Structure 1
Amino acid sequence: MAAFSGKVRHGFEQRETEGVRYFVIPSFLEAGVTKHCFTTRIGGVSDGVYSTLNLSRTRENNPEHKKENLMRVCGAIGVPYESITLVNYAHGDGVYLVGANDAGKGITKETDLPPCDALVIRESGITAHTLHADCVPLFFLDPIKRVACVSHAGWRGVYYGITGNIIELFQEKCGCSPKDILVGIGPHIMGCCFEVKEDVAKPFMEKFGEAVVMTRQGKTYVDLQLALLRQMEQCGLLPEHITCADLCTCCREDLFYSHRRDCGKTGAMGSFIAFD
C-alpha cells in the first residue's frame, strides 16, 4: 500500500471566476473533455452561518439565495442551470447512471432518482452534482470512453465500497478499463479531525488495516482517504491517475463548511461534472 499511495498526485488547483472560488483537478484539465469543480464557501449571497456560497437544498430557508448561488457556480464553470442533476443521496453506496431525461432532477424538477450517492454520466447536456459538508467528494473520469462520475462518500459509503461499485458500473455498462480512469479525492474531513467511536474504528481497522485508524490523546480518528486509496488499489486503478486535494474541511473554516465543526449549523459545498 505504501508503494501505491506514494505515487498518487497531490493538490487541486484553486480558481476564482467572478468572485466564485472553487477547485479543479489538474489531471482532468489535462484530459480536456469536462467542465468540473468543487466549490468553496466563497462567492455567494447567503448570510449568517450559511455565508456565502451555500448550495444546500435543505439547510437554508431562502430559495432565492439557493438559486442565485447555484446559478453563480454554473456561470463560473460554464454549464446550463437546467442541465444539473442532483444526487438523491442516502449516505450509502448506491450508484446511478444518468440519462438525458434526468437533466434537472432535484433542481428544476422533482426527483424520482433511486437512493444513490454517485451519479455517472456519459453524454453531453447533463451536469452531475453532489453536496458535501465533510463527506468525501470523489471525481472519476475515463477520457477515452467519455464516462464521468461525482460521488458523495460518507464513512458508510467508504466502508461499504462505493468506489468499487462505481468502477464496476464503469466497466460493465460503459466498457471502461480501470487503467484509463482518472480520480480526484476532494476536500473532506481528514484523519486529523474525523474523530470516531469504537463502533466505527473497529470495522475500519478490520477491513482496511491498522494504518487507517489513529489514536491521539485518548481519542480515535479514521483516515477516510487512506481507506479509499486501498479500495482504488484493489480496483486496479493506477496511483499516478489519482489526485488528492489534501484539504480538510473541518480545519479550513476560511474555505469550507463543516458539519462536524459547525455542529450541523452550516451550509454545503458542491461537486459538479459535465462533458464539454
Structure 2
Amino acid sequence: MQRLDAAGVPFFIKTVDDSGPLVEAQEILRSSDVPHTLVYRRSGNQYDTPDYDLPPEEAARKHWQMHVEAFPVELDRNLVWLETINEPDKERSEWLGRFALETANLAMAEGFRWAAFGWSSGEPEATDWQTPSMQAFLRLAAANPDRLAVALHEYSFLNDNIADAYPFKVGRFLQLFDVVDSLGIARPTVLITEWGWEYQSVPDTSTALQDIDWAAAMYAPYPEVKGAAIWYLGNGFGGIASEAQSLIEPVTEYSLGTYFAIPISTNRASINPEQYRP
C-alpha cells in the first residue's frame, strides 16, 4: 500500500472481520491526497442479510444498529466504507429499496459511508433497479457520492474465461449505469467489493494478469467505479488464499506501471459493452 501511495496510485482494499489492514490503510490515507478506497464488512448469518420477515424500515433499523455496534472502534467511519449486507435476495427489490433508503439515512445521520447491497455476480435484473424505492435510493446515492455507494460482486465463475457471458457477470455495472442514464439519474459511486474467477481458485499468474488488464481497461473510463477487490485472502474456500497470495506482487507491479489515458470530457463515458468485448 505504501508503494502505491508513494507513486500516487489509488489502492482499493476490503477486509471482512479483520480491521488490521484497514488501520494501516487509513493511516496512509490520513496523510495522503491520493483517493484510496477502504471497505469493511462484518460477516455471519445475522450480519449478511436482513430480516426479511420484518417491514423493511424496521429491518433496516435493527440491522444497522447491529452493524454499528460491531464496527471496530479503531476504524474511522469518515474514511472507511461500511458494507452491511451480502448477496441479498434479488426477488425482493422493492423491499430492498425501502431497506436501503432507511439504512442510507441512518448511515449519513451517524457520519458513516455506506455501501449498499453487495449483489451477487449476475444480479440484479435491470427491472429490479426501477422499482419506486430503488429509484429513490439511486437518486439519494447519486446526490451523496462520497457517503453512499452501490456494492457489486463481479465474478466470471470460470478460471479460463473472465469474459464468460460478458457483460452479464463481469461488467454488470454497465447495466446499472444504463438504467440510471435512462432515468436521468447521475451515476452512483460503485464499489466492486468482490471480483474474480472461481470461489476456490484463481488462474495462473500470466492468465490472471491478462484478465486483470482487460478488466482494468473496462473500469478505467468510469470515475464512479472506485476499484475492485480480488477474491480472496481469507480462510476456507478450498485454500484459495494460497493462490491469491501469489498475485499480490505482480498486481502491485502492474498497478505501478500501468496507466489509462481517459479523455477529459463533459460527457459521460459510453456504456456500450461492445467497446470492451475481448
State the TM-score, normalizing by the size of structure 2: 0.37
User: Looking at both structures, which has the greater relative contact order when contacts are Cα pairs under 8 Å and sequence separation is at least 6?
Assistant: 1
State the TM-score, normalizing by the size of structure 1: 0.37
Structure that is richer in helix per residue: 2
